[in-house]
């Protein structure tokens, strides 16, 4: 019997060391296919982005996002500007500029660099806006509604604005 004990211990040690040396095969990195990244489409939805009356001294900016996968986002709304108070004088003396900017154009605007705008209504005190924005891909896109006092205009204005985006 004593001879079997060292053999059993040796056999047990070999089994234990064999088990310790056994490595699990690394799992292959999962491959993510573009179709796996598809998110729900915002098509058929709409979102209010601005419904406000505000005082405009120099400029006012209102950012909004277009969600990913918006194939044909459409901005529509209207604004009216007044001198002094809401529903006061709304004529050429109440004219303001309205712009729709993307992020790069907004950065230029903030840096006082000349730039194009996606949409512009200059020297207007009453404007309806219907504008198709570029489609978003797999990332949301930020835009800005910018209202600014018209060049050479004196005094602040009151602006009543109502805008929404349909996807």
Domain for residue 17, yes or no? no
Range of the domain at 73: 47-166
Enclosing H/E stretch for 81:
strand 74-83
Q: Distance from CA of residue 153 to its chain's centroid?
A: 32
CATH code, domain carrying 66: 2.60.120.260
Domain for residue 115, yes or no? yes
Domain for residue 152, yes or no? yes
Number of domains in the chain: 1
Task: List per-residue pLDDT tens for the chain, 167 residues long.
Answer: 455 565 555 555 555 555 555 555 555 555 655 544 544 555 667 899 999 999 999 999 999 999 998 889 999 999 999 998 888 778 889 999 999 999 999 999 999 888 899 999 999 999 999 999 999 888 999 999 999 997 767 789 999 999 999 98
**In contact, 58 and 152? CB cutoff 8 Å:** no
Beta bridge pairs of residue 126: 80
Domain for residue 36, yes or no? no
Domain for residue 16, yes or no? no
Whole-number CA gyration radius for the chain: 32
Q: Which two tokens stand for residue 55?
A: 């005082």
pTM above 0.95, yes or no: no
């Amino acid at each position: 019997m004593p001879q079997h004990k060292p053999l059993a211990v040796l056999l047990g040690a070999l089994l234990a060391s064999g088990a310790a040396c056994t490595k699990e095969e690394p799992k292959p990195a999962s491959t993510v296919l573009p179709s796996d990244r598809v998110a729900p489409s915002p098509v058929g939805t709409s979102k209010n982005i601005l419904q406000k009356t505000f005082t405009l001294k120099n400029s006012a900016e209102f950012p909004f996002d277009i969600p990913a996968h918006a194939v044909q986002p459409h901005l529509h709304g209207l604004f009216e500007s007044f001198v002094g108070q809401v529903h006061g004088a709304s004529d050429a003396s109440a004219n303001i500029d309205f712009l729709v900017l993307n992020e790069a154009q907004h950065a230029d605007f903030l840096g006082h660099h000349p730039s194009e705008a996606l949409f512009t209504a200059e020297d207007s005190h009453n404007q309806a806006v219907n504008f198709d924005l570029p489609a978003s891909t797999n990332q949301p896109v930020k835009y800005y509604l910018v209202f600014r006092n018209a060049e050479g205009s004196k005094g602040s204005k009151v602006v009543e604005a109502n805008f929404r985006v349909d996807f």
